Amino acid sequence: MAFALGPRALSAGYKLAAFERTGSTNTEAIEHARAGERGPMWFVTSEQTAGRGRRQRAWIAPKGNLAASVLEVLDIAPAVAATIGFAAGLAEEAALEKVSLEAALRLGPDRPRYALKWPNDVLANGKKLVGIGLEAEAVGDRLAIVVGIGTNVVAAPEGTPTPAVSLTALGVQISAEELFSALSDAWVEFRGIWDNGRGFAEIRKLWLERAAGLGEKVAIHTGTMTLEGIFDTIDETGCLIVRTAEGRLVPVAAGEVFFGPVASVGAA
């Protein structure tokens, strides 16, 4: 089965570049933007060999996993562009729910439960299933935004800060190609709601309804310090708001997040 855009993505005018194997779909997208491509366009592969995730971690997709990047060239500020990651999380979660219907009926109470982890991950039964990374670069008077989405379809990496899992291990038997088609259509929906940042209030509401760890103990490693407290909400810019033991509300723009009982372990 070959990669193909879903019907909604086709109708919305998205283009597609599919690779049997590539170093990084994000790199492909940025290089196309530098060469004049203005999108919107997807770059996708089931085998990525040299991708980079957050904090410059290797983002490798062994054959059968899904690495997909969407290029959008927009006239918006970088701070607004950063909120598109929440729309991406919602799109991925919606696509996963769609392709997991058969497994949900078959597995019943043991079906995968998906949740969104701040800032840009999707969890399944508390384990990391999807990583989402954003890149942006000025092209002319606009901003080229690349949203990279990596999904563990057939295999999951070991030794990650949050334990990882694959769809296969969860009992969801679908291909990277099937998932991508659903994702490309879901992206059209949530990209439309986001509306170049104008609809972030609605995206924020939808994201919080699916948020992992909301109201629970949280520890965030920022690189220079560890902040502990309760995950209170995300604000209108997408920052995670931590309620400290003293009752202060502290906004966090970036960091490694640990929830619940593992928060104390993560903070150690």
Q: Are 62 and 175 within one domain?
A: yes
Q: Exposed e or buried b for every residue in 242-268, given b needs 16+ CB within 10 A?
A: bbeeeeeeeebeebebbbeeebeebee
Q: Are 115 and 192 within one domain?
A: yes
Write down the pLDDT at residue 56. 46
Amino acid, res. 46: S
Amino acid, res. 155: A
- Per-residue pLDDT tens for 20-46? 999 999 999 999 999 999 999 999 999
The Cα 135–Cα 235 span in angstroms is 21
Q: Are 242 and 135 within one domain?
A: no
Q: Are 49 and 163 within one domain?
A: yes
Chosen domain end from 187, 209, 231: 209
Mean pLDDT is lowest, of 1-5, 16-20, 185-189, 221-225, for: 221-225
Q: Where are the beta strands (DSSP E) in 125-199?
A: 127-139, 142-151
What is the total count of domains within the chain?
Answer: 2
**Percentage of the chain exceeding pLDDT 70:** 92
Residue 128, token pair as written in the block: 């990391």
Domain-located, residue 188:
yes
pLDDT band at 125 (very low <50, low <70, confident <90, very high): very high
Question: Domain containing 16: what range?
Answer: 7-209
Domain-located, residue 125:
yes
With a cut of 50, say whether residue 55 has pLDDT above it. Answer: no
With a cut of 90, say whether residue 103 has pLDDT above it. Answer: no
Mean pLDDT is lowest, of 138-152, 159-173, 181-195, for: 159-173
> Of 203, 195, 229, 183, which is closest to residue 70 (Cα–Cα)?
183
Domain-located, residue 2:
no
Q: Are 45 and 178 within one domain?
A: yes
Residue 99, token pair as written in the block: 């392709």
Write down the pLDDT at residue 57. 52
With a cut of 50, say whether residue 106 has pLDDT above it. Answer: yes
- Report the CATH number that the domain containing residue 257 is assigned in CATH: 2.30.30.100
With a cut of 90, say whether residue 51 has pLDDT above it. Answer: no
With a cut of 50, say whether residue 268 has pLDDT above it. Answer: no
Write down the pLDDT at residue 59. 53
Write down the pLDDT at residue 58. 52
Mean pLDDT is lowest, of 28-32, 34-38, 50-54, 183-187, for: 50-54
Domain-located, residue 48:
yes
Domain-located, residue 117:
yes
Q: Are 196 and 236 within one domain?
A: no
Q: Are 182 and 244 within one domain?
A: no
Domain-located, residue 249:
yes
- Report the CATH number that the domain containing residue 63 is assigned in CATH: 3.30.930.10
Write down the pLDDT at residue 265. 42
Chosen domain end from 165, 181, 209: 209
Q: Are 223 and 164 within one domain?
A: no
Q: Are 41 and 107 within one domain?
A: yes
* Cα four-point dihedral sign 241, 243, 249, 254: negative
Average confidence (pLDDT) over 77-91: 97
With a cut of 70, say whether residue 68 has pLDDT above it. Answer: yes
Domain-located, residue 1:
no
Q: Are 67 and 114 within one domain?
A: yes
Strand order in the sheet with 249-252: 249-252, 240-243, 226-234, 217-221, 256-259
pLDDT band at 259 (very low <50, low <70, confident <90, very high): confident
Residue 180, token pair as written in the block: 């991508």
Q: Are 138 and 233 within one domain?
A: no
Q: Are 186 and 233 within one domain?
A: no
Mean pLDDT of the chain: 91
Domain-located, residue 78:
yes
Chosen domain end from 159, 188, 209: 209
